Structures are given as C-alpha cells and as structure tokens.
Chain A
Amino acid sequence: MARYDTEVLVVGAGAVGVAVARELCRFRTRVLVADRLNDVGGDASKSNSAIVHTGFDAEPRTLESETVVHANPLFDRLCRDLEIPFIRCGAILVATTEEEEEALPRIMQRAEQNQVFDVEYLTAQRARRLEPALTSARAGLLVPGESIVDPFLLVVAQAENAAQNGVEFLTSCEIERIERSAQTFVVSSTLGEIRARFVVNAAGLRGDVVSHMVGIEDFTVHPRRGQFHVIDRSAPLGIRHIILPVPTKLTKGTLLTPTVHGNWLIGPTAEEMEDRCAHETTADGMEEIVRGAGRLVPGFDPRHVITQYAGLRAVRTPGGYHLRSFARVPGFIELSGIRSTGITASPVVARRALAMLRAAGLETQPDEDFVATRTGIPAFRDLDDVERAALIERDQRYGRIVCRCETVTEAEIVQAVQRTPGARDMDGVKRRVRAGLGRCQGGFCGSRVPRILSELLGVPLERVTRNGLGSELLAGPTRAPGDSP
C-alpha cells in the first residue's frame, strides 16, 4: 500500500471539495483530494437541477442564504476562466391558482430580505410573452439572476485547473479512519495511509461518517432523493427560462429547466430515504414529476423523455449549513449541511474553508506560477464548418464521430481520458464530453467508446467499466471458434 504526505487533505471531490482544492491551489500548499468513487463529482454534484440560484427564496438571515446570494455573481468569471458552459437564462415563478397568486408578494418580500432586488412581477400576459407555453399562468415573478450551468463540468474544470496547479487527486480512495498524532492526522484509506496537517470534510452525504472519525458526533445526515426526467432537445417545448412553481409548505415542487446543452430537465421529487445508495428511480416518482410539469406547462408531452436519473440531497440533522472548525480537533474543518444549493454555494464555501484553514494555522504563500484559466475540450458539435475542417486537418480523430446524437468525435474522447483527472470509465467520458447522453442513450456509441477506453487505458475490453470496479460492461470473450457448445 502506498503512503501519501500532504498538508491539506480534502475528503470528497464533489462541487464543494473541488472548489476548496481550486481555492487552495493558488498557494504553495500541498493539497490532496480523495474520493471514494472512480471519478470526481460522482455523487450529488452530478445529479441535481443544475441551477445557479440567486437565493431569492432562501430562508433569510441564514448561513445558506448569505452564501448563495454572494456566490451567484462569482459564476460569470469562474465559468469564463474555466470554460464551463453557463447561461444566465433567468427564472419565471408561475402562479396558476388564486392562492398561489396571493403568495407572490410574500415571496417578493423574501427576495428583498435576501438582497435580491431585481425580481419583478409578471402579469399573465407578460409571462406568456416571455414563455408562450405558460398558458395557465395567472401571474408570476421574473428572477433574472437564476442561471444554469453544467454541474459536472463545473467539477471537472475546477479539478483539472487544480491539478494543473499541483493538486493531487486520488479516486477510488475511501477514507476509513482518521487518527491524530501530534500535529498530524493519520488517515487510513482504501489506497493506503495518508498523512495530513489539515483535513477538510467535504464528504456530502457521508459527512457525518467522516466527522464521526474524529469524534464529532453531534449530527447525522440522511438522503432525500430527487428524481428527474431528461427531455430531448427536439421536443417542441421552446422554453428558455427556468420555470418554478410556487413552493408549498411541504415541497418546493416540480420545476422545469433548460440545460446548457439544449435539453430540459423536469423534477425533482423529494423523498426521505435511509439508504445512502438509494439512487433508483421509481414508477411513482416518474409519474409525479410528469404531473408536476403538466401543471406548469399545460399539455406537456412526456413522449420526448430520453432518460431518468436520481440524486440524493444530504439532509443534515440539525439542519442548515455548518462550516465549522473545532477547538478539540485543531486542523479539522467540516463543511456540512450543503443540501440543495451546493452547486451554487461552492465557491463561497471554499473561501470560508480557506479562511478557517488560515485561522487554524495553514500558511498561504501565493504561488507565482498559478494559472487561473483552463481550456475546455473543443466540442466539434459547437463549431462551424470551417473550424471543423481545420480541426480534422490537425487531428484526423476529429473526423470520426463516435456519438451520433451529441456529435462527439474520437478526438474529444481521447482528450477526456488523457487529462488529469481523466475519465476512467464510460460515465467519466459521458460527463466530460457527452458521448452517450443523447436521445439514443449510448445505443450507438455504447459499443465504440469501450474500445477507445480499452486501448487508451491498456486494459482488455472486459475490464472496461461503467463507473469503477464491479461495473464491468461485458462478461468476456465469446467462445473461440471450434469450441464445442
């Protein structure tokens, strides 16, 4: 087993963990990020609504609302620097009943308490002018700052940029035990021992498990599941804003949102679960969200659904964001309770983590060689014909289209694998360059991408996985010709 030495160990490579890593990589500090999954961003940060919230509807005067409100404006720069798809599309909150209409002033007031001052009232007419599909709207609110992002690329781009600036990433590395001896933490993981002066707990849904390892046992975390349908971009929906229902006391309800890649999402459900692996979708859940979407957009046609997924919110008890350090465990930082807004909040949470680390004694010498930008993988799909021809000229593999629905070329897949941290499996390729995410859901590229992975990773085809050991795609070679049955 290997041994690793580092100054800061970040446990968890979700949106929060990688944001911390990227914050720290500006300094000459040794940072290691460990995640139990085969890739970065493999848990809540990959399966959510992908909205960068303004915080207009958050509970005022909480750490969460403050963090979210301050995080939203940071995204333009972050996404420009790191070439992350990000669109300021705005949201429309629609009231379809009298009762809902009466709730609007209260929501408006809350937005003002949260310092979100650009929310506007919409009459039914104006709502329909903005989104003709909202035929049942009686009134609404326009929230211009609500935006959409590719949450997975948000994670990958920050991880790549952090790696470029010297941060090390360990995947398939589960932290199992943390002991303290003198000034260091001695951490046992599935990949070996890690010694660190500081540990940042960014383990999301398993944050309680990690904090328990250092004797902090004043909270628990359980999953609240959210199921979604993905709607094909060819559906005649035409909706460009995020469409939100008026929340009830019980639930925030089903929303409908465009994605930065031109599809739409409808969802999520909110189901209290026990199992932290309860990622399954259910027949009831799928129907519930279609009904919900139908309330927002009458006549919503579910035939254009291409796939479903479910994400688990990390519900902390007691609730609320907790960004903490502890006198009795100096050097340990806990970032917990980041339940439904962590994609948005992550850059500000990372700043706070940095401040707490400094307060705990971390030295932060600016790194002269820090590179603030990262270039994305040029997407063939988004280029014009002249640019396309030039790319193929440079690299023939840009001329081989591997994913027909999303028009992803072999060259893009090769880059997804060769970057650091790179794709190691089908899901990793899919999330980085979208091969297999389109309407045929890998029917075509599902047999081509494994070959490319097998070649680049130097493993036989039957060892190529969907998302890590145990998820092999194939059982093995067929019998050699001539073998008797």
Chain B
Amino acid sequence: MNRVACDVAVVGGGPGGLAAAIGARETGARRVVVIERDGHLGGILQQCIHNGFGLSILEKDLTGPEYAHHYVSEALERGVRCFTNAMAIGLSPDRRITAVSPEAGLITIEARAVVLAMGCRERTRGAVWLPGTRPAGIMTAGAAQRFINIDGYLPGRRIVVLGSGDIGMIMARRLHLEGCIVEAVVEYRGTVGGLTRNLVQCIRDFDIPLYLRHTVTAIRGTRRVTGVDISPVDEGGAPDASRSQTLACDTLLLSVGLIPENELSKQAGVQLDEGTGGPIVNESFHTSVPGVFAAGNVLHVYDLVDDVTRCALAAGTSAARFAADYEATGPSTDAAARIVPGAGVRSVVPQRLSAHLPDTVEFHLRASTEGRRRTLELTGRQRGTVYRRRCPVVRASEMVRATVRGIGASGDDELTFRIGENCGEP
C-alpha cells in the first residue's frame, strides 16, 4: 500500500481541480496532489472540441482541450503532483483519501485539506422515467460526445435529442456536421435549457427542427431504437399522447440535466444542498466538514468554465490557508449567517457566511422564474435590503451573479435572495 502525506489533496483533475491546485500552490501550500481517474488531466473539457472557452478569463476563444491544456501546464509548472488513472474511492471525515490505480495500486493520501472537484454526471433515462422498450441506441449526450470526439465512433445515423441543455444542442450540431440526420431536438419546457448562444449557433444556424413543449412518450424498437413517439405537453406539464407522432431514428440522445457527483462527499459526511445537489459551503468554499472544500461542477453546475476556474482558484486558496493554519477558516457549520433562496430563486452558492467575511462576496444563483426586467434582492431579517440590482433578462438556464459589498456588518443570521418583478424604480 502506498502512503502519501500532503497539504492539499484535490479529487478530480478537471478545470475545477486544476485551478484549485494552482490556487493552493500560489497561496503557499507545499505539497499539492491531484487525483484523477482518467488517463489524462482536463476533465470533461477533453471531449469538448468546440470553441468558446476562456472568453472571459483568458480573453481568448479556445477549444476545450486548449483551455484545459493551459491549466494543466500551469499546474505542472507549479509542481503539483498528479496521479492519473487513479480513482478516489474513499474519503473519511479526517481527510484520508483512498484511491486505486493500476500502476500505484492502493494509495492512501493523508491531507491537511481536501478539495472536492469531481465534476458532475448526466441524468439518465431511468431518472426521467422514459417509457418504452430498452433497445441499444439510447445514450446521454455526453457519452455520445465522448464516443465521437475521443473514440472516433458515431453513436448512430439518425438522431433525436431529448432535452436542450448545452451538451444536447452542441451534440445536435456535431452529429449534423458528421453527416448524420438530426430529426429533432425535443424540449419539455417552452425555452431551451442551454445558453442562448448555443440555440443560435447550434440549432438555428443549421435548421435543426426544435420541438418546444414536447416530450418523448415512447421508445420503439427491440434490439436497436427504430423510432420515438413525441407528444406535446399541456399547460399543466402532462404529455398528450393522443397527439403524438412517431419520428423514425436509430438513436435517442438524452440531455436532461446534470447531477453533481457527490458520492465521496457523502462518505465523508459533507452536508448537501437539495437545491444545487452539491455541498453546502461558505464564502471560502468550505463545506460542513472541517478542511474539506469544494470547487467546480461538484458544487453546482456552472454555465461557463471561466467561472469554474475563478471560483476554484479561490477554493484552492482557502484550502491552502486551512492547511497552513487549521483554524484559519471555519467550516460552513460554524456559519454566522445562512443564505436562503426565496421567491424566484432555486438555489444559491454560497449558502453560508462565516463570521470573518471579506469585503465583497460573489453569489451565484439559479432562478426558478424567467422573464425580462426583474429585480434581484438580498434582504436580511433585521436589516432589510442589503443588495438590489436590476436584471434585464432572467432565464432558468443562465446563472445569475451578485457581487455584494459589505454584508459583513449586517448582523443578520439569515438573508434571503429573491427575484421579483421590477419594483418601483423607473
């Protein structure tokens, strides 16, 4: 058995993990270790060969692998020690990680601080209760992306995509460019689930049929998919199978949501937030377990990798501080205040604020409403409104940011974010 002791151990070598490792080194942690189960660093970005990465943080338009490469090089230059082909399978509350790899065997890593950066996984057919037969030819959009971009194989030739998340829309375009027929992108809601730029650049620009307020009500075919039935959904969200039509296809790709990957977090006893599916953290990305931090999609699903990198650098910094001085930043359970999602808000990160707040705190929210000209407000029980800003457009699929100054002094133990109609102001 291999034993490794370190200051900061990062689980996951995607952009979140890499930035956390870099942040930790820059803050002075000496021994920083990254554990990555894949053969290569870079996480999901390795298979995202389209461009559009890094526009805000690097001011360059890069492909996923290029963006990843930038941070892999930085991490290696800074002397971060990386175990690849190593899967972390255990994490204890006292920050002992068990990992396995074919080369190094069973590895035990004792870390003064841990950063969780395991990313997220895709929701599957079973989770959305798709009725019908169970033939070959049904896979998640991300799995198809891996087959095409990494393995060089097409999942099928005639495609229906269920769900219009970013990966779904990007894959619709990719398959179209590979010469496949994309019969339809089918979306349950009235608007696409992903970014507007992907709607334009992936669907509209290629005249791919988009069925809004529709869903798949049956899968056909016994060995391989031969078609799917799609039906409109009524106001109440119930599909009307009497108005269904059958689309012939050999493949159904699912882009029906992402779930933060928190199996290890649960093992360590980290408290999770039902709204985000990720750990509850404070402004230092500290979870409820002392010395365990979280960064990237494991925390909540980000839209843009640039934000992942930015937040993960901060998480790495906090982890290094904790490693240097165990008391530097208390876990989220020692919080001075809770941040709760109110009307119009599905989730917010961070969910807790510590007693030693910095001057500004950046919050990331998911809205539960959509529309134009809304107002975002943060109010405390005692002090009333602490922050207010107008949002020209709010979409459930696009993260809302709020940079709030000086809440430290508010003295409130509970603050609520709300998104409402434009109130008052001209």
Residues of chain A whose beta carbon lies under 8 Å from any beta carbon of chain B? 230, 234, 277, 279-283, 285-286, 305-309, 385-386, 388-389, 392-393, 396-401, 404-405, 407, 410, 440-444, 446-447, 451, 461-462, 465-479, 485
Stretch at the interface among B135-143, B307-315, B328-336, B362-370: B135-143
Asked if B156 is at the interface (CB within 8 A of a chain A CB), the reply is yes
A281 lies within 8 A of B132 (CB): yes
Given A280-B131, A401-B89, A446-B143; A307-B37 close (CB under 8 Å)? no
Given A397-B102, A400-B102, A475-B250; A280-B154 close (CB under 8 Å)? no
A230 lies within 8 A of B143 (CB): no
Residues of chain B whose beta carbon lies under 8 Å from any beta carbon of chain A? 1, 37, 85, 87, 89, 98, 100-106, 108, 121-122, 124-127, 129, 131-137, 139-140, 142-143, 146-148, 150-157, 177-179, 217-219, 222-224, 239, 250-251, 263, 266
Cα distance A388–B177 in the bound complex, in angstroms: 45
A363 → B minimal CB distance (Å): 42
Query: Which residues of chain B have C-beta atoms less than 8 A from A472's C-beta?
Result: 136, 224
Query: Which residues of chain B have C-beta atoms less than 8 A from A444's C-beta?
Result: 121
The chain B residue with its CB closest to the CB of A385 is B106
B154 lies within 8 A of A475 (CB): yes
Query: Which residues of chain A have C-beta atoms less than 8 A from B151's C-beta?
Result: 447, 451, 461
Can you list 28 A-B pairs, Cβ within 8 angstroms, ordered by A? A234-B266, A279-B133, A279-B134, A280-B218, A283-B217, A386-B1, A396-B102, A400-B101, A410-B102, A440-B121, A440-B122, A441-B126, A442-B124, A447-B143, A461-B151, A461-B153, A466-B223, A470-B224, A471-B136, A473-B136, A474-B154, A475-B156, A476-B153, A476-B154, A477-B152, A478-B153, A478-B154, A479-B179
Given A461-B151, A477-B153; A407-B89 close (CB under 8 Å)? yes
Query: Which residues of chain A have C-beta atoms less than 8 A from B224's C-beta?
Result: 470-472
The chain B residue with its CB closest to the CB of A282 is B131
Cα distance A451–B177 in the bound complex, in angstroms: 25
A305 lies within 8 A of B129 (CB): yes
A392 lies within 8 A of B102 (CB): yes
A283 lies within 8 A of B131 (CB): yes
Given A404-B87, A474-B155, A478-B148; A280-B100 close (CB under 8 Å)? no
A474 → B minimal CB distance (Å): 5
Instruction: Please provide the 10 A-B residue pairs with the shortest distance between their CB atoms, ordered closest to farther.
Output: A307-B126, A470-B223, A399-B102, A466-B136, A389-B106, A471-B223, A471-B136, A441-B124, A396-B102, A401-B87
Q: Give the dominant DSSP class at A's interface.
A: mixed
Contact of A283 among B108, B129, B152 (CB under 8 A): B129
Query: Which residues of chain B have C-beta atoms less than 8 A from A478's C-beta?
Result: 148, 152-154, 178
Cα distance A466–B127 in the bound complex, in angstroms: 20
A277 lies within 8 A of B222 (CB): yes
The chain B residue with its CB closest to the CB of A465 is B136
Contact of A443 among B1, B142, B222 (CB under 8 A): B142
B223 lies within 8 A of A446 (CB): no
B127 lies within 8 A of A388 (CB): no
B105 lies within 8 A of A468 (CB): no
Given A472-B224, A475-B157; A305-B135 close (CB under 8 Å)? no
Query: Which residues of chain B have C-beta atoms less than 8 A from A468's C-beta?
Result: 223
Given A443-B140, A473-B155, A474-B147; 13 other pairs, CB 8 A cutoff: A280-B134, A280-B219, A283-B131, A306-B127, A385-B1, A385-B98, A400-B101, A401-B87, A401-B100, A447-B150, A470-B224, A471-B224, A477-B154
Given A392-B106, A447-B146; A309-B153 close (CB under 8 Å)? no
Query: Which residues of chain B have C-beta atoms less than 8 A from A396's C-beta?
Result: 102-103
B135 lies within 8 A of A388 (CB): no
A443 lies within 8 A of B121 (CB): yes
The chain A residue with its CB closest to the CB of B238 is A283
Cα distance A230–B125 in the bound complex, in angstroms: 12
Query: Which residues of chain A have C-beta atoms less than 8 A from B132's C-beta?
Result: 280-281
Cα distance A288–B209 in the bound complex, in angstroms: 34
Cα distance A451–B152 in the bound complex, in angstroms: 12
Given A280-B132, A475-B154, A477-B153; A393-B105 close (CB under 8 Å)? yes
A440 lies within 8 A of B134 (CB): no
The chain A residue with its CB closest to the CB of B219 is A280
Query: Which residues of chain B have C-beta atoms less than 8 A from A386's C-beta?
Result: 1
B103 lies within 8 A of A307 (CB): no
Query: Which residues of chain B have C-beta atoms less than 8 A from A234's C-beta?
Result: 263, 266
The chain B residue with its CB closest to the CB of A470 is B223
Query: Which residues of chain A have C-beta atoms less than 8 A from B87's C-beta?
Result: 401, 404
Cα distance A24–B137 in the bound complex, in angstroms: 40
A370 → B minimal CB distance (Å): 38
B135 lies within 8 A of A474 (CB): no
A414 → B minimal CB distance (Å): 13
A440 lies within 8 A of B124 (CB): yes
A138 → B minimal CB distance (Å): 31
Given A407-B89, A472-B224; A462-B100 close (CB under 8 Å)? no
A447 lies within 8 A of B126 (CB): no
B90 → A minimal CB distance (Å): 8
Contact of A399 among B101, B139, B147, B154 (CB under 8 A): B101
Given A305-B127, A399-B101; A467-B154 close (CB under 8 Å)? no
Cα distance A279–B219 in the bound complex, in angstroms: 11
A389 lies within 8 A of B148 (CB): no
B129 lies within 8 A of A286 (CB): yes
Cα distance A442–B125 in the bound complex, in angstroms: 11
Query: Which residues of chain A have C-beta atoms less than 8 A from B134's C-beta?
Result: 279-281, 309
